[in-house]
Structure 1
Amino acid sequence: MSTEQPMAMRQIVVSSAEDIRVERVPWPDAPGEHEVLVRSRLVGICGSDTHACAGKHPFIALPYRPGHEVVGVVGAVGPGVSDLAEGDRVVLEPNLVCGKCRQCRDGRYNICRELAVFGCQSVGAMADAFVIPRDRLHRVPDGVSDELAALVEPLATPVHAVRRAGVGPGSRVAVLGAGPIGLLCLVAARAAGAEVVVVTDVLKNKLERAQRLGADAALDAAAPDLVDQARRALGGGADEGADVVLDCVSGQSSMTQAIELVDKGGTVMVVGIAAGPTTIPLHLVQDREIAVIGSLMYVHDDVRRAIELLAGGAVAAEDLVTATFPLERAAEAFAASIAPDQLKVLVSVAGPG
């Protein structure tokens, strides 16, 4: 691979859902000490991106330059980087942390006091290339396609949520929402040993996909008797609910359902990004000793586990990737990503532009 760089490269900038364009910007400087220059190959669009471009993400300001779900190839390494070489394929762990606060020192750097997310609060990877510290990159194993590797970052979030919720052998789990994160929560829960997994959504095509991925039941979230249906499907009896409810919607209706559906002493894990304050029946939380906790991103071990699961065949790329657009058509890719018939939409970065 040639190390000679063009004078300018392409970078996507999102100012609104109606204003997503390609900018020409200077090519990144050569990587500094312990840094790597990565040429992007595939970049995923996630729920955070669609919320952000609509101006509804509580932590991403417009305009922004997206790209945190990225598969790329090493273009150059800086001084001090000896375990990666030009041509190696990598995926990005996009949490940028201080490494000094109490949370970082305790190994919970996903909630670093100064956390910024590459491609959310900083210029991202939906571009021809980017420079990043070496410790933010993970090597892609041989035999894992670029399309499958594009699911590493999305899967790491459910792996972390499932681990944090305590899902294990014999667990009865309900997943609210069958978008990409919800479906990958199903995959992660199964891999953790869950005995029964019930998935809910309002879209028939997503429920059908959940069934294909191994859900024991896929139920209409809008059904008036949803909680009763889900309890029966979980198999614990009419008075028993789920040990863990993974709320991947995080709206008022889903949170209400989650509290009603979780068993006494169970856990409601908030996985989806809430648009704002949500009311919960606190008297039930207290009376039933329900744990309501949040899950943000992941740490190194979660990413490594996601890579292991994908390399081991836990899910196939075609199970979730439903469309791929070239970089020049990023606006179309964002529009497609909110369409009911789409799940994971990727943007392909081909050539230096």
Structure 2
Amino acid sequence: MTESMRRVVVRSIDDIQLEQVSAPAPGDDELLVRSTLVGICGSDVHAALGDHPFIDLPYRPGHEVVGAVVAAGPGAEDFKPGDRIVVEPNLYCGQCPQCLAGRYNICEQLKVFGCQTAGAMADLFTIPADRVHRLPDGMTDRQAALIEPLATPVHAVAKAGDLTGRSVAVLGAGPIGLLTLIAAQYAGAARTVVTDLQPGKLERAQRLGADIILPADAPDLVADARKALDGPIDVVFDCVSRAQSMAQATELVAKGGQIIVVGVGAPGATPIRLDLVQDREIRIEGTLMYTADDYKTAMALISSGAVDTNEVITGVFPLAEAGQAFAAALDPDQVKVLVSVP
């Protein structure tokens, strides 16, 4: 075991460096894990740009991680060296009312590994053993790298209830939007429409099964979407979470319908047509992260072959080029960018 290791530190989008730090050792109930693949998500990009409401700079990223166990601390001996794992990064207190109700994804003291703590974009990291899931036999590292990103849409789709026979709109065709489309189809959505500003993203959504694709800035977007789906839309997933997308969602959704806010919103107020919310009995609900059940569903969905990794994973960079990886993640033509740890 090395005495030092590399770890990525993000001070800004233009200042992303490797730092040399002491290699950690696992404590009680902890695992020492060697990173294999680490994803960059929208939250990471927002944080690097300095506009994430809950991540302060500098930070040490890496919450979407696939790895292999190197050593187990006392109390974690159920894991053996070489076990392939994926991290579920929500670090919760276990004592607050939400945790006691099983909703630890909204723990009152919630911290996220790789966001509020040092993460796994490094050679090695330690993590509580109860925060990892063993990978199914036969699942590749590339497939496993999509478990965490997919678990968020799986959790969001579960909030909508049974989607069988229902119409769905997904606003935004970035990584979360595309995975929300896949999760909604898996949950039985009958007809789907996806919107985005980038033609390339819309084409990708169509290849992934969207029935209708529409430019997000189309002047007649609401009318076009309703016409294409033969009426108002039962459930709208807002994966953009800005004033324009929320306005569109409120216009698109059917009476008695539901809007699920999936994307990280900008700090501050966002105007909403409360007259429509009240008159149409629209339910607006936020969604944060996931629980273990969502991870299990995401694994099953990936194992079923429903996720085309080649459509979702569009770039892989070595750890030494983490800065270039973040720059690539800013490119609207990219979907999921990964960092590989040799």
Provide the TM-score with structure 1 as the length reference: 0.95
Task: Give deviations 1:168-216, integer Å, cap 9, x for gaps.
Answer: 2112100000001000000000111111111100101100000100001
Residue 219 (structure 1) aligned to one of 206, 214, 220:
214
Counterpart CA distance in 1 for 2:173 and 2:162 is 18
Q: Residue 22 of structure 1 aligns with which residue?
A: 18
Q: CA offset at residue 7 of structure 1? A: 1.1
Residue 252 (structure 1) aligned to one of 239, 243, 247:
243
Q: Is the 8 A contact 1:162 1:189 kept in 2?
A: yes
Q: Residue 331 of structure 2 aligns with which residue?
A: 339
Residue 162 (structure 1) aligned to one of 140, 157, 162:
157
Q: Residue 319 of structure 1 aligns with which residue?
A: 311
Q: Residue 31 of structure 2 aligns with which residue?
A: 36
Q: Is 1:290 paired with 2:282?
A: yes
Q: Is the 8 A contact 1:167 1:189 kept in 2?
A: no
- Secondary structure at 2:173 match in 1: coil
Q: CA offset at residue 99 of structure 1? A: 0.4
Q: CA offset at residue 167 of structure 1? A: 4.3
Counterpart CA distance in 2 for 1:211 and 1:166 is 24
Q: Is the 8 A contact 1:266 1:291 kept in 2?
A: yes
1:247–1:167 Cα change, 3 Å: farther
Q: CA offset at residue 42 of structure 1? A: 0.4
Counterpart AA for 2:39: G
Q: Residue 261 of structure 1 aligns with which residue?
A: 252
- Secondary structure at 1:155 match in 2: helix
Counterpart AA for 1:266: G
Task: Give deviations 1:102-138, integer Å, cap 9, x for gaps.
Answer: 0000000000000000000000000011111111001
- Secondary structure at 1:286 match in 2: helix
Q: Residue 175 of structure 2 aligns with which residue?
A: 180
Q: Residue 114 of structure 1 aligns with which residue?
A: 109
Query: Across the two proteins, how many residue pairs are aligned to each other?
Result: 341
Counterpart AA for 1:74: V
Counterpart CA distance in 1 for 2:95 and 2:180 is 31
Counterpart CA distance in 2 for 1:320 and 1:204 is 16
Q: Is 1:8 paired with 2:7?
A: no
Task: Give deviations 1:132-167, integer Å, cap 9, x for gaps.
Answer: 111100111122110111000000000000001224
Counterpart AA for 2:18: V
Residue 127 (structure 1) aligned to one of 113, 122, 127:
122
Counterpart CA distance in 1 for 2:314 and 2:120 is 21
Counterpart CA distance in 1 for 2:172 and 2:162 is 18
Structure 1 residue ranges (4+ consecutive) displaced by more than 3 angstroms after TM superposition: none
Residue 97 (structure 1) aligned to one of 88, 92, 99:
92
Aligned Cα RMSD in Å? Answer: 0.8
Q: Is 1:308 paired with 2:303?
A: no
Q: Residue 48 of structure 2 aligns with which residue?
A: 53
1:167–1:207 Cα change, 3 Å: farther
After TM superposition, the structure 1 = structure 2 runs for residues 202-241 of structure 1, keeping only pairs within 5 Å, are: 202-235=197-230, 237=231, 241=232
Task: Give deviations 1:293-318, integer Å, cap 9, x for gaps.
Answer: 10000001001110110011111211
Q: Is the 8 A contact 1:169 1:192 kept in 2?
A: yes
Q: Residue 261 of structure 2 aligns with which residue?
A: 270
Counterpart CA distance in 2 for 1:171 and 1:160 is 18
- Secondary structure at 1:81 match in 2: coil
Q: Is the 8 A contact 1:167 1:244 kept in 2?
A: no
Counterpart CA distance in 1 for 2:47 and 2:7 is 17
Task: Give deviations 1:5-48, integer Å, cap 9, x for gaps.
Answer: 1110000000001100000000002x122211110000000000
Counterpart AA for 1:115: L
- Secondary structure at 2:155 match in 1: helix
Counterpart CA distance in 2 for 1:249 and 1:34 is 38
